[in-house]
C-alpha cells in the first residue's frame, strides 16, 4: 500500500544521511527538543535538621530534611527546572488507618512547602494527593475489612489538598486513582477561594511493578497489605486510560499524567492525540533504579541514557516529565 512517504525521493538522489553528517545539521533538523523547562524534580523529605539519608534502592537519590530541601529547590530553580514535587517519609507512629496525618496542617509536607515558599522564588511546588505515606495499611485510600473505600477516601483527599494549598503549594497532584476525586477536590478548592490552584491529575496510573523503590523511599513498602489492583489500572488496558483521562478533564484537571513512563509511551501518545491537553508522564522509581543500576555496573552510560529516555517522553507527546534525574539532565542540557 502506498504511503505518504513513498513519493518523497529515492536513493541515490535522496540521501537521508546528508542531514546527519554534522552536529549543527542534526540540531537544525531535530524534530524533538528537550530542555530544562520540560522537567519536574520529585524530592523525598524527612524529619530532622541537616539530615540526608540515601535511598538504598535508588542510587543517587536521598531523603532530605526540610532545610536541605530548601537548598535543593534553589539548585533546581537556578538550573531552570520549573517545579519540584514533594513526597514525605512519615514517622510510622503518625500513620493511622484513617491517614489523618495527611491533612494535619503541621505535617512534614506542609512545613516543607512553607519553607520553600518563604525562601525560594520562581519555582513551582507540586504536592502529591494520596494517603499511602500516611496510611498504616500502605494504601492510597482508606481500608476497611480489606476493601479500599472510594468515597470516604475522597473526603480525606479533599482535606489533604486544602491544607497543602493553604501551605502554599501551587499544584495539587492526586495520584490515588479514586473515582470522582478530581471533581470533588476542584469544587472544594473553589469553595475555599482557591480558583487558581492547579490540578495535575495522575489520570492514567497503572498497577505496576515499577513502584517498589518509591515505596522504600517513603517507608510504605513494609506497611502495604495486599496490592493496589482494585483502584490502579490494569496494565493490559489502553482504551480504559482514555476514559479515565476524559473523566478527569471534565471534572476540572488542568493537566493530566500517565504513570509509569517508558513502558506506557503508547498511552501518552493516545492521550495527547485524543485530548490535546497538557500531558505529563512520570519516569518512576523502578525505571530510574533500573537505569542507574545498569550504569553503576558499567553496562550503560548514565548521561547518554538519561537524555535519550527523556527525549523519548517528549517524542511520544509529553509536555513535561517527572524524573529523579531532573538535576542531572538540567546540568547536561545546560552544558550542551
Active-site annotation, residues: 205, 259
The 3 state secondary structure assigned to the chain is: CCCCCCCCCCCCCCCHHHHHCCHHHHHHHCCCCCCHHHEEEEEEEECCCCCEEECCCCCCCEEEEHHHHHHHHHHHHHCCCCEEEEEECCCHHHCECCCHHHHCCCCHHHHHHHHHHHHCCCCEEEEEECCCCCECCCCCCEEECCEEEHHHHHHHHHHHHHHHHHHCCCEEEECCCCCCHHHHHHHHHHHCCCCCCEEEEEEEEECCHHHHHHHHHHCCCCCCCCCCCCCCECCCCCHHHHHHHHHHHHHCCCEEEEECCHHHHHHHHHHHHHHCCCEEEEECHHHHHHHHHHHHCCCCCHHHHHHHHHHHHHHHCCCEEEECCHHHHHHHHHHC
Residues paired with residue 52 on neighbouring β-strands, in sequence order:
64
Please count the residues of the chain: 336
> Strand pairing of 255-259 and 52-54?
unpaired
Question: Please, are residues 220 and 139 in contact by the beta-carbon 8 Å criterion?
Answer: no
Q: Which residue, chain included where needed, has cell 500516611?
A: 134
Using CA atoms, how far residue 103 sits from 100, 147, 160, 166, 223, in Å, is 6, 22, 4, 11, 20
Amino acid at each position: 500500500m502506498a504511503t505518504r512517504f513513498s513519493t518523497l525521493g529515492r536513493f541515490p538522489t535522496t540521501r537521508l544521511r546528508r542531514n546527519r553528517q554534522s552536529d549543527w545539521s542534526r540540531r537544525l533538523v531535530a524534530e524533538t527538543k528537550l530542555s530544562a523547562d520540560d522537567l519536574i524534580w520529585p524530592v523525598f523529605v524527612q524529619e530532622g535538621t541537616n539530615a540526608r539519608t540515601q535511598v538504598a534502592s535508588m542510587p543517587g537519590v536521598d531523603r532530605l530534611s526540610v532545610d536541605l530541601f530548601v537548598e535543593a529547590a534553589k539548585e533546581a530553580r537556578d538550573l531552570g527546572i520549573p517545579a519540584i514535587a514533594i513526597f514525605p517519609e512519615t514517622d510510622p507512629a503518625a500513620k493511622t488507618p484513617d491517614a489523618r496525618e495527611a491533612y494535619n496542617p503541621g505535617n512534614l509536607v506542609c512545613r516543607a512547602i512553607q519553607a520553600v515558599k518563604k525562601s525560594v522564588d520562581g519555582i513551582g511546588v507540586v504536592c502529591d494527593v494520596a494517603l499511602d505515606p500516611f496510611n498504616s495499611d500502605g494504601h492510597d485510600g482508606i481500608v476497611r475489612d480489606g476493601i479500599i473505600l472510594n468515597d470516604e477516601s475522597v473526603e480525606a483527599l479533599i482535606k489533604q489538598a486544602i491544607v497543602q494549598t493553604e501551605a502554599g503549594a501551587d499544584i495539587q497532584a492526586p495520584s490515588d486513582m479514586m473515582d470522582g476525586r478530581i471533581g470533588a477536590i476542584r469544587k472544594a478548592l473553589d469553595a475555599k477561594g482557591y480558583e487558581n490552584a492547579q490540578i495535575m491529575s495522575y489520570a492514567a496510573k497503572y498497577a505496576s511493578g515499577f513502584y517498589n523503590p518509591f515505596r522504600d523511599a517513603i517507608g510504605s513498602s513494609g506497611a502495604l497489605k495486599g496490592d493496589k489492583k482494585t483502584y490502579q489500572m490494569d496494565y493490559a488496558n489502553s482504551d480504559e486510560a482514555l476514559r479515565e483521562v476524559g473523566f478527569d478533564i471534565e471534572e476540572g484537571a488542568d493537566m493530566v499524567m500517565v504513570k509509569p513512563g517508558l513502558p506506557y509511551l503508547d498511552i501518552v501518545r493516545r492521550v495527547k492525540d485524543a485530548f490535546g491537553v497538557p500531558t505529563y508522564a512520570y519516569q518512576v522509581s523502578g525505571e530510574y533504579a533500573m537505569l542507574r543500576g545498569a550504569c553503576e555496573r558499567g553496562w550503560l552510560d548514565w548521561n547518554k541514557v538519561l537524555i535519550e529516555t527523556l527525549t523519548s517522553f517528549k517524542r511520544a507527546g509529553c509536555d513535561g516529565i517527572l524524573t529523579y534525574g531532573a538535576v542531572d539532565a538540567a546540568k547536561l542540557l545546560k552544558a550542551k
